[in-house]
Amino acid sequence: MTPEEAKQIIETSGLTVAAHNDLPKVQQLLDAQPELVEAMNLLIPKAGDDTPQRAAAHARQIDILRLFIERGVNTDLFMACALGQTSMVDAYLTAHPKEVDAKGAHGIPLMVHANHPEMVELLIKRGADPTLALQQVTWSGRIELMEVALAHGAKADPIETGRRPLHIAAHQGHKAAVELLLKHGADPNSRSKGADWERKNAIALAIMNNHTEVAALLRPLTKFAPQPVRRPGPPRGQFRPRR
């Protein structure tokens, strides 16, 4: 089997889609097509390419990752990061230090795959930027991961980024993460950038996704722009004389 044939087998099987969150489907596919394991081990993905291994890793589907390993799939960097295999990741980054900024499926950074505080700490010690790390781990809302980045000097409110950690936490509805970031000085009135987040503050992003508890937490801290004062006009149908 060539890498090209392996890629075709994977693509037609539907395994990559199932690996995001469907353990029973993954089991069914591996039972029906044992050659999928060989195919997964022959893949040579580029940065940003999606594979079953990378799909399960960035979604932090630990049971699916363990099943892959049980069936004979070789552990790659992203799987090891999600599984908390710090020794393996440390050894790999010692040999390939630039890979601390590696991009997995869909261009998702390695840090986003981290599932344990020890892994976040290792990646930062290996060169990952703490402030960027904070932004990346905030997507999951895991405060134990966020606290590691903050302990290593991450800025809780980096003005140079378009989407600050508080914007992300509010958008995702992570109340505990919002509270942590506010405690560390995040500005609830800062405006985000990009697509449908453009010019929205944290409370607007929370309301946009119907995160009512987060919105209630932010409301007393938010400065709302005053509404323009409108002068009363004449009743409808009444002539307004010229001056």
How many structural domains is the chain composed of?
2
Q: Do 22 and 12 belong together in one domain? A: yes
Same domain, residue pair 61 and 93: yes
Tell me, yes or no, whether 104 and 202 share the same domain. Answer: no
Q: Which residue type occupies 162?
A: G
- pLDDT for the residue numbered 231: 58
Torsion sign across C-alpha atoms 85, 86, 89, 92: negative
> Domain with 49 in it: what CATH number?
1.25.40
Q: Which domain holds residue 25?
A: 1-127
Q: Are residues 86 and 158 in the same domain?
A: no
| Encoded tokens for 39 | 């195919």
Residues 6 or more apart whose CB falls under 8 angstroms from that of 39 comprise: 1, 5, 6, 7, 9, 10
pTM of model > 0.85: no
**Residue 172 corresponds to which tokens in the numbers above?**
């995702």
Distance (Å, whole) CA 214 – CA 177: 10
Q: What's the pLDDT score for residue 238?
A: 55
Q: Same domain for 102 and 2? A: yes
34 and 100 co-located in one domain: yes
Q: Per the domain annotation, does 234 fall within a domain?
A: no
Kindly state whether residues 104 and 216 are assigned to the same domain. Answer: no
pLDDT at 193: 85
The CATH code of the domain that includes 151 is: 1.25.40.20
- The verdict on 59 and 149 lying in the same domain is no
Quick check: is 239 in a domain?
no
121 and 176 belong to one structural domain: no
pLDDT of amino acid 242: 55
Among residues 51, 79, 77, the alpha carbon closest in space to that of 65 is found at 79
Q: Determine phi and psi for 141, rounding to 5 degrees.
A: 75, 10
The answer to whether 29 touches 70, Cβ cutoff 8 Å, is no
Task: List per-residue pLDDT tens for the chain, 243 residues long.
Answer: 898 999 999 999 999 999 999 999 999 999 999 999 999 999 988 888 899 999 999 988 999 999 999 999 999 999 999 999 999 999 999 999 999 999 988 889 999 999 999 999 999 999 999 999 999 999 999 999 999 999 999 999 988 778 899 999 999 999 999 999 999 999 999 988 877 888 889 999 999 999 999 999 999 988 865 444 455 655 555 545 555
Tell me if 235 is assigned to some domain.
Answer: no
120 and 136 inside one domain: no
Q: Is 109 helix (H, G, I), strand (E, B) or coil?
A: strand
Same domain, 62 and 163: no
Question: Contact 67/83 with Cβ under 8 angstroms?
Answer: no
Q: Are residues 4 and 78 in the same domain?
A: yes
pLDDT at 228: 47
